[in-house]
Amino acid sequence: MWDESMYDTVREIRTKTTTYLGVGAVEKIDEIFAQFKEEGIASILCVTGGHSYKITGAWDKVEAAAARHGLRLALYNKVTPNPTTDSVDEATALGREAGAGAVLCIGGGSPIDCGKSAAILLANAGKTAEELYCYAFTPRKALPIVAINLTHGTGSEVNRFAVATITRLNYKPAIAYDCLYPRYAIDDPALMGGLSPNQTRYVSIDAVNHVVEAATTTCSNPFAIMLAAETVRLVHANLPRILAHPDDLRARYALVYAAMLGGTAFDNGMLHLTHALEHPLSALKPTLAHGLGLAMLLPAVIEECYPARPQVLAHILKPIVPGLAGMPDEAPRVARAVEQWLFGLGVTEKLTSVGFSEADVAPLCDLVEKTPSLGLLVSLAPVEGNRERVARIYRNSLAPMARH
């Protein structure tokens, strides 16, 4: 069994954020602001984007709580999907002008990652977002962070990771520092009913990718694997339900919980090939949804990695591919089954569908090699992440696997 392979290896297990999970959790913002007031914080930078922060009603709750406790809010609402270092610098400048003592992120992974990054820069005067994402300095401190999560996928509200595209270079690296843990996270499924069907698909698939990778890295631990199995079970059972009935709060709650588990899983087990290879895709095509990019790559990544971690993947993928024996030669069958599962959810695109071709494989491999942090992710894969294997994954993701 997979759990017999780790008993003699010391693994670090992480869980550091206080999360409020459940319908009505957004009301906890009042208690959080009361605590900030007691700590002497007078101004808060609020980082968000689009219109969901208003449409969901989250902003009304935030404004009311701030008024009750005499806190000033500085609103930065220009974050786009796949946030850039330019956005981080703009948000930081606003926060500095307002004298912010904390950062509140409202939204999905993009606003949360942008807000986390700004929290670091506000506590490290004179530093820029490009310096942060090019690893020009190692931050030890950040302003207190609160995340009101509006999607069920990234898990960024409960972990130490953030991602941004370096505008000048088209690099999309990830950073991971202990000071990036939000002090509080709010996961309220009632705020997520307005997600479109595609958004619902993509963010939930992101959660599945998190745990497939986290459970199979060279530094994974039993906690990450346990969380992975539960995440896959919850998404498999509840994503079809929510696509059929978007107002089903029980199903939405299960997906929110799954995403939170997924974020904790990869905080413990890290990530590897799927995320390392997706970041160049959305760096080159910023409108590409992160979860869609991952979905297009996942079957090919599983085919490469399954022989190295057959028992772990057989265990966590059981709801999607029942009856596995955990043998290396099952890899092609498992990869095709996962692709068919994605297709059955309505995610039928492959790389050619979104404009990539064979001619893009070499430039994409170059970005994997050159982008800060992606080399680390590749090195954590259970198989050697050489250029030949990376190119094969991209190539095998251009079209449905049945055509290969």
Q: What is the CATH number of the domain that holds 237?
A: 1.20.1090.10
pLDDT digits (tens, 9 = 90+) for 282-324: 999 999 999 999 999 999 999 999 999 999 999 999 999 999 9
For residues 63 and 200, membership in a common domain is answered with no
SS3 380: coil
Mean pLDDT of all residues in 109-136 = 97
Indicate the residue among 149, 164, 191 that finishes a domain.
Answer: 191
Domain boundary among 136, 161, 191: 191
pLDDT at 118 exceeding the cut of 80? yes
H/E run at residue 13: none
CA angle 225, 205, 231 (to 5 degrees): 30
Q: Are residues 302 and 187 in the same domain?
A: no
Please check whether residues 152 and 232 belong to one and the same domain.
Answer: no
| Rounded mean pLDDT, 347-360 | 98
- Shared-domain flag, residues 175 and 215: no
Please tell me the least confidently modeled range out of 2-16, 41-55, 78-92, 255-269: 2-16
In a domain, 68, yes or no: yes
Give me the domain span that covers residue 159.
18-191
Confidence of residue 5 (pLDDT cuts 50, 70, 90): low
Rounded Cα distance between 187 and 383, Å, is 35
Q: How many domains does the chain have?
A: 2
Residues 187 and 218 in one domain: no
Residue 340 CA to its chain's centroid (Å): 23
pLDDT at 2 over 60: no
In a shared domain, residues 185 and 229: no
pLDDT at position 170, please?
86
- 3-state class (DSSP) for residue 219: coil
Kindly state whether residue 9 falls inside one of the protein's structural domains. Answer: no
Q: What are phi and psi of 396, to 5 degrees?
A: -75, -5
Question: What's the pLDDT band for 36 if we cut at 50, 70, 90?
Answer: very high
Average pLDDT along the chain? 95
Which residues, including other chains, have CB under 8 Å from residue 142's CB and lie 6 or more apart? 103, 116, 119, 120, 122, 123, 177, 179, 180
Look at the alpha carbons of 49, 101, 95, 44 in this order and tell me if their dihedral is positive or negative: positive
φ and ψ at residue 134, rounded to 5 degrees: -100, 10
What is the dihedral angle through the alpha carbons of 368, 373, 377, 379, rounded to the nearest 10 degrees?
80
Does 241 fall in a domain?
A: yes
Which one of 168, 191, 214 terminates a domain? 191
- Are 214 and 138 in the same domain? no
Does residue 201 lie within any of the structural domains?
yes
pLDDT of residue 15: 76
Strand partners, 184: 18, 146
Q: What is the pLDDT of residue 167?
A: 87
Query: Are residues 86 and 218 both part of a single domain?
Result: no
